[in-house]
Amino acid sequence: MSSVVSDMQGARSAHMKVKRMLPPVVRGLLWALIGFLIVNTLVSEVFDRMPYHPYVTRPSVTLGWVAAVIGWLLGVGAWEGFMKPYFGGTADWVVPNDWRKYFMYSIDHKVIGMQYIFSSLGGFLIAGFAAMLMRLELMKDHMWIFNNPGAYLSTVGIHGTVMMFSVGTVALIGGFGNYIVPLMIGANSTAYPRMSGISQWLVPAGIATVVLSPILGQWTTGWRGYEPLAGQDPAGIVFYYLGVFALTTSSLMVSINLTATILFKRAPGLTWNRIPMYAWGMLTVSLLNLIWLPEIQMTFLMGLLSAIIPLPYFSQLGSPLTYMEMFWLFGHPEVYIIVVPAFALWQELLPVMGQKSLFARQWGIIGLVFVMILSGLVWAHHMFTNMRNSQMLPFSFFTEMISIPTGFSFLVAIGTMWKSNLRLNTPTLFILMSLFNFLIGGVTGVLLADPVVNLQAHDTFFVIAHFHYTIIGGMVFSWFAAFYYWLPKFSGRMYNEFWGKIGAIWVFIGFNGVFFQLFLLGLKGMNRWVPVYPSYLQPMNFEISLFGFLLGLGFVFNFLHIAWMWHKGPVVGNNPWHSKTLEWQTSSPPANTNFDPIPQVIGSFYDYSDSKLAVATPYSDKKS
Amino acid sequence: MGDILAFTISWIVVSVLGEMGVHALFQKGLYYYTATTQAVDGEAAFAFILTILTPVFAFIVVMIIYSMIRFRARDQEIRPSRKQFYNNKAFVSIWITISIVLNLMFFVHPTASAVEQMFNSERARYNSHDLIVNVTARQWQWFFNYPQYNIAQAQDSNGNSILYLPANRTVKFVLRSYDPMHTYDPYIGVVHGFWIPAFGLKQDVIPGETRYLYVHTTKITSFEVNPMVRVQCTEVCGPGHPFMEAPVHIVSSSDFLKFVKQQQQLQAQQS
Ligand code: HEM
Ligand SMILES: [Cu+2]
Ligand SMILES: [Cu+2]
C-alpha cells in the first residue's frame, strides 16, 4: 500500500506546477452535464425517437443519469487517480495539502472518511429539513404548507430515503469507519484505497438524485418504493431507484473495503481476540451489507425496469406482493445495519470513559454476530398484515428471539459501567442516552413482534415512534457520541464540556418530547403518510411539532458547537481520554502516514487494570 | 455488597412504581377505544407484555442512573477504576437464562395463544350466521356491498360510502382491491390497508387476491360517538390516501334491518 502513497506523493512534487485546471468538483459537475446531454440526446432523439416525444423520456433520463454519474466521478478525479493508472499511465494527480483535498478524489482513508462524514451530515441536514416541513404541515389537520398531498408524500419519501441510505447506513460506516478503523487496527491505509475514493463521490450524487426527483414528477410511495403503486407514479420514482442505487453501491464498496481491511491489514499481534469492538462492529455490519445490498439492488433494478420498459413484474398481472417481500428481506437487516455500529460504539466508549476493563467481551461479539445472522430471518414481521395467520408464528418467533443477542450489548454496557470510574462527559452522556432510547425502541419492538398487537399498530405513528427510537435514539445519539469522542482525534482540539452537555440534554428532551407522544398518537388512530387527518388528533400533533422544531434546533446547535470547536477549541494532547486503542497511540490529528513504524500489539486494548499500553513500538518491519 | 443491595432496592421500588403506572394506563384503556373482541384481545396482549417488561426496563434504567450517580468520577484526574473484572459467570448465566425464558414465554403467550384465538374466531364462519360484507378498495374510495341483503353499494344520501354493522355479530369482511369502474385496466389496482382503529386489527388489500378479516362487534357505537370508529386506509396508495376513509355505525339488529330496507329502497330508486 505505502507504494501508492509514495507514488502519489512523488507525483505531487514532480507535477506540482504542471497544469492548472478547474476545481475538481466543478469539473465533475461539468462532465456530468456533458455526459447527461450527450446520452440523453442520443437516446431520446436518435435510438428511441418517437414522434412528438419529449426531450427527456424515462429511458433517456435513466441512461443519461448513468452517463452523468460516470462523468461526475471521473471529473472529480477518478480519471487521473483511477482510470489512467489503471491503464498503465502515471498518476499525475495533484493533491493539495489543504482544505481543497476534501473536494476531490482522494485515496487517503482519513480524507475519505472525512468526506463521508460531511456527505452524510449534508444528507442529515437536508432530510432533517424535510422532516421539519412535514412536522409543520402536521401542525394543522388540513393542507396548509403543501398544496397537494402528493407533494407531502414526496417529502416523506425524500426524508426517509435520504435518512436511511445516506445517514443511517453511511455516517458510522463510511464516515467514522473509514477514518477510524485503519487507525484502530494499526494500518496505514485501507485495502482498496482507490475504490474507496470513488465510492465516496457516489454519496453526493445519490443524495442529489433523490432530492431532485420531484423535477421528474412526484412520487408517493415513501422510502420503500412500494410496487405496484410505484408503477403508477409519475417519473420521479425513476430518480428514487437511481439515487438509492448510487447510495447502496457506495455502501457496498465501503463494506468490501472495510472487510478486506479488517481481515488483512491488521498490525502484527492484533489477533482475532484482540480486534477492537468498533472494528468488530464494522466487520459484522459489512458482512450484513455484502449479503443484503445486492439483493435490494436487484429489486430496485426490477422496479426500474418496470418503470421504464415497462415490464409488469409487480402489477396485478405479475405478483404485487413479491416486491414487498424482496424489499423487507433487505429492509429488516437494514435496520440492524444501522444499529450494530451503535452497539459497537457503546462497547468501545464505555471502557475508556470508565477506565475499566470491558465486561464479558466475548458475549458482546457473540451478540453482534448473532444479530447479524438472525436479522435475515425476521423480515416478514413487516408484513403481518399481508400474510396468512399460519405464517405469522415463525417470524414472530425469530423476531422475539433477536432481542436476546441484542440484549448482550446491554449486558456488556452495564457490566462495564458497574464499579467503574465513569467520567460523565458529553460522549458518555450521549452513550447513556442512546442506551435508554434504544431500550424504549426495543421494548416497543417486542410489542410489535406480537402479531395481535402488530395488526393494530402497524402503519400507524406507533411504528413511526418505534423506529425513530431505534434509529435516532440508538444510532444518531451514538453518532453524536462518536463526534464528540473523536473530535480531538480529527482536530487535536477539545469541545467545551458545558455546551456539549447542554447540547446532549437539549436533543434528549426534544427527542423524547416528539417520539414518546407519537406512540400515543398512533394508538389513538393516527395512520401514516397523511397530511390530512381527523381533527381530534390535531392538538397532540401541534404540540409534537413544537418539540420537533426544538429537536431540529438541538441538532443544529450540536453541529455548530462541534464545528466551532474544531477550529477554535483548546488544543489537547494526543490521547486526551487515556484510551488504550491504537487510534490514540499516534498524533492527533494523524499525520499523512498514520504509523511510522507500524506498532506491534502485545496486549488487550480493554484492560485498564494498569496503565501499560497494549502496544510495543517501535516494531521492526525486517523481522517478519 | 452494599452497591448490589442499594441497587436491588432501587430497582424493586422503581419496578413497583412502574407497574402501578402501567396499571393506571390499562385502566384508562391502552387502545383508547375498543369495539370488538379482537381489539380487547389485542389490548390484553399489549398489557401482558408491558407488565412483564416493566421490571426488565426498570432494571436497565436504574442500572444506568445508578452507575451515573454512584460510579461517576469525582475529580478531574484520570485513573483506572479500582475494581477490574472481565466477567461474572453467575450474572451472565442468569442474564442469558432469563432472556431466553422470557422470550420463550412471550412466544407461547401471548404470541401463539393470541394468534390461536384469531384462528378460532375465524372458525366462527362455520356458524353461518356471519354477516358478510364485501369490501372493495379503489383509489381512493371504499365500497361496501352486502351480498346477503342485495345491497350493491351502501351509501348515504350524498352518495358517500357508509358501513353499518349490527352489534354482537361476527362479521366477515371480504377484501378486494380493484376499480369497479375501470375493470379493464389491470394496472390500476394498488395495495390498500383496511383498518377500523376501534376494531383493533387491520388487513392489507392486495390487487389480484381476496382476503378475509373477521371481527366480532361488542357494542353499539358510531363515528359520531368516537372518531376511531371509522374505516381508514393505512397503506400508502397515492395522493388520495389520506382521504380514503368512511364512517362506521354499529347499531342494534332492528336498526340494522332498517338500514337494509332503506338501502334497498335507495337502490331501487336509482336503477
Ligand atoms: C428531527 C428529527 C426527525 C423528525 C421530526 C422526523 C419525523 C418524521 C415524520 C413526521 C415522518 C413521517 C411519518 C409518516 O407519515 O409516515 C418520518 C418518517 C420517516 N423517518 Fe423521520 N424524522 C426525524 C429524523 C429521522 C432520522 C434521523 C431518520 C433515520 C436516520 C428518519 C427516518 C425516517 C424514515 C425511514 C421514515 C419513513 C418514511 C417513509 O415512510 O417513507 N427520520 N419522520
Ligand atoms: Cu387506499
Ligand atoms: Cu391508502
Q: What is d(CA A254, CA A248) in angstroms, rounded to the nearest whole number?
A: 10
Burial A265-292 (b: 16+ CB within 10 A, else e): bbbbbbeeebbbbbbbbbbbbbbbbebb
CB of A526 closer than 6 angstroms to any ligand 1 atom:
no
According to the model, what pLDDT value does residue A487 have?
Answer: 94
- Grade residue A7 by pLDDT with cuts at 50, 70 and 90: very low
Q: Bin A223: left if φ > 0, else alpha if -120 < ψ < 50, else beta.
A: alpha
Beta strands B245-251 and B163-166, pairing class: parallel
Mean pLDDT (whole number) for A598-616: 83
Q: What is d(CA A171, CA A123) in angstroms, rounded to the nearest whole number?
A: 10
Point out the domain boundary residue: B80, B109, B124: B124
Residues B120 and B138 in one domain: no
Choose from A313, A448, A453, A612 for mutation: most chain B CBs within 10 A. Answer: A453
Mean pLDDT (whole number) for A460-468: 95
pTM of the model: 0.93
Q: What is d(CA A491, CA A423) in angstroms, rounded to the nearest whole number?
A: 22
CB of A63 closer than 6 angstroms to any ligand 1 atom:
no
According to the model, what pLDDT value does residue A620 have?
Answer: 42
Which of A324, A417, A529 has the CB atom closest to B236's CB atom?
Answer: A529
- Grade residue A609 by pLDDT with cuts at 50, 70 and 90: confident
- Pick the residue whose CA is nearest to atom 27 on ligand 1: A472
According to the model, what pLDDT value does residue A560 have?
Answer: 96
According to the model, what pLDDT value does residue A14 have?
Answer: 42
Whether B235 is covered by a domain: the verdict is yes
User: In this model, does residue A622 exceed pLDDT 50?
Assistant: no
According to the model, what pLDDT value does residue A20 have?
Answer: 61
Residues B38 and B103 in one domain: yes
Tell me which H or E stretch contains A601: strand A600-601
Whether B81 is covered by a domain: the verdict is no
- Grade residue A11 by pLDDT with cuts at 50, 70 and 90: very low
H-only helix segments in A309-402: 320-354, 361-374, 389-401
Which of A436, A525, A531 has the CB atom closest to B61's CB atom?
Answer: A436
Whether B75 is covered by a domain: the verdict is no
Burial A530-540 (b: 16+ CB within 10 A, else e): bbbbbeebeeb
According to the model, what pLDDT value does residue A10 have?
Answer: 40
Residues B113 and B192 in one domain: no
Residues B107 and B150 in one domain: no
What distance in Å separates residue A595's CA from the closest CA in chain B?
Answer: 26
Whether B47 is covered by a domain: the verdict is yes
Residues B96 and B197 in one domain: no
Cell numbers given for B143: 365500497
User: In this model, does residue A8 exceed pLDDT 70?
Assistant: no
The CA-based angle A148-B186-A297, given to 5 degrees, is 70
Cell numbers given for B54: 416493566
Mean pLDDT (whole number) for A449-475: 94
Q: What is d(CA A444, CA B20) in angstroms, rounded to the nearest whole number?
A: 19
Whether B76 is covered by a domain: the verdict is no
Residues B92 and B168 in one domain: no
B-contacting residues in A 93-132 (Cβ below 8 Å): none
Q: What is d(CA B7, CA B67) in angstroms, rounded to the nearest whole number?
A: 9
Q: Which of A5-19, A470-484, A518-532, A597-611 has the weakest average pLDDT?
A: A5-19
User: In this model, does residue B124 exceed pLDDT 60?
Assistant: no
Whether B82 is covered by a domain: the verdict is no
Residues B112 and B172 in one domain: no
Q: Cell 412504581 belongs to which residue?
A: B17
User: In this model, does residue A316 exceed pLDDT 90?
Assistant: no
Asked if the C-beta of B201 comes within 8 angstroms of chain A's C-beta atoms, the answer is yes
Beta strands B192-196 and B230-233, pairing class: antiparallel
Q: What is d(CA B208, CA B250) in angstroms, rounded to the nearest whole number?
A: 30
According to the model, what pLDDT value does residue A9 have?
Answer: 44
Residues B181 and B234 in one domain: yes
Give distance in angstroms: CA of B235 to centre of ligand 3. Answer: 4
Whether B40 is covered by a domain: the verdict is yes
If one counts the domains in chain B, the total is: 2
According to the model, what pLDDT value does residue A262 have?
Answer: 95
Residues B202 and B117 in one domain: no
Check residues A374 and A484 and name the one with the higher pLDDT: A484
According to the model, what pLDDT value does residue B121 have?
Answer: 63
C-alpha distances in Å from residue A482, one per residue of A280, A346, A352, A495: 16, 10, 13, 13
Residues B97 and B160 in one domain: no
User: In this model, does residue A197 exceed pLDDT 50?
Assistant: yes
Mean pLDDT (whole number) for A273-282: 93
According to the model, what pLDDT value does residue B259 have?
Answer: 93
Reported as a single tens digit per residue, the pLDDT across A381-395 is 899 988 887 788 888
Mean pLDDT (whole number) for A359-387: 89
Positive or negative, the Cα torsion across B117, B122, B125, B130? positive
Q: What is the 3 state secondary structure string of A72-85?
A: HHHHHHHHHHHHHH
What distance in Å separates residue A495's CA from the closest CA in chain B?
Answer: 16
Contact residues on chain B for A381, CB-CB shorter than 8 A: none
User: In this model, does residue B55 exceed pLDDT 50?
Assistant: yes
* Ligand at shortest distance from the CA of A529: 1
According to the model, what pLDDT value does residue A294 have?
Answer: 94
According to the model, what pLDDT value does residue A391 have?
Answer: 83
Does this complex have an ipTM over 0.85? yes
According to the model, what pLDDT value does residue A602 have?
Answer: 86
Reported as a single tens digit per residue, the pLDDT across A388-437 is 877 888 889 988 899 999 999 999 999 999 999 899 999 999 999 999 99
Asked if the C-beta of A458 comes within 8 angstroms of chain B's C-beta atoms, the answer is yes
- Grade residue B127 by pLDDT with cuts at 50, 70 and 90: low
According to the model, what pLDDT value does residue A588 have?
Answer: 84
Whether B83 is covered by a domain: the verdict is no
According to the model, what pLDDT value does residue B126 have?
Answer: 59
How far apart are the two ends of chain B, measured CA to CA in Å?
85
Reported as a single tens digit per residue, the pLDDT across B64-78 is 999 999 998 888 777
Tell me which H or E stretch contains A600: strand A600-601
User: In this model, does residue A110 exceed pLDDT 70?
Assistant: yes
CB of A222 closer than 6 angstroms to any ligand 1 atom:
yes
CB of A159 closer than 6 angstroms to any ligand 1 atom:
yes
According to the model, what pLDDT value does residue B232 have?
Answer: 95
Average pLDDT, chain A: 89
Task: Give the relative orientation of helices A477-491 and A497-523 as an angle to the nearest 10 degrees.
Answer: 160
Mean pLDDT (whole number) for A111-121: 94
According to the model, what pLDDT value does residue B74 have?
Answer: 84
Reported as a single tens digit per residue, the pLDDT across A252-261 is 999 999 999 9
According to the model, what pLDDT value does residue A618 have?
Answer: 55
According to the model, what pLDDT value does residue A15 have?
Answer: 44
User: In this model, does residue A309 exceed pLDDT 90?
Assistant: no
CB of A304 closer than 6 angstroms to any ligand 1 atom:
no
User: In this model, does residue A5 exceed pLDDT 50?
Assistant: no
Domain span at residue B266? 131-270
Asked if the C-beta of A366 comes within 8 angstroms of chain B's C-beta atoms, the answer is no
According to the model, what pLDDT value does residue A621 have?
Answer: 40
Reported as a single tens digit per residue, the pLDDT across A171-183 is 999 999 999 999 9
User: In this model, does residue A94 exceed pLDDT 80?
Assistant: no
Point out the domain boundary residue: B78, B100, B124: B124
Reported as a single tens digit per residue, the pLDDT across B170-216 is 899 999 998 888 877 777 888 999 999 999 999 999 988 899 888 88
Residues B189 and B227 in one domain: yes
User: In this model, does residue B57 exceed pLDDT 70?
Assistant: yes
Name the percent of chain B lying above pLDDT 70: 96
Reported as a single tens digit per residue, the pLDDT across A147-159 is 899 999 999 999 9
According to the model, what pLDDT value does residue B128 have?
Answer: 62
Please name which of A257, A202, A112, A167 lies closest in space to residue A480, comparing C-alpha atoms: A167
Name the percent of chain A lying above pLDDT 90: 62
Residues B113 and B168 in one domain: no
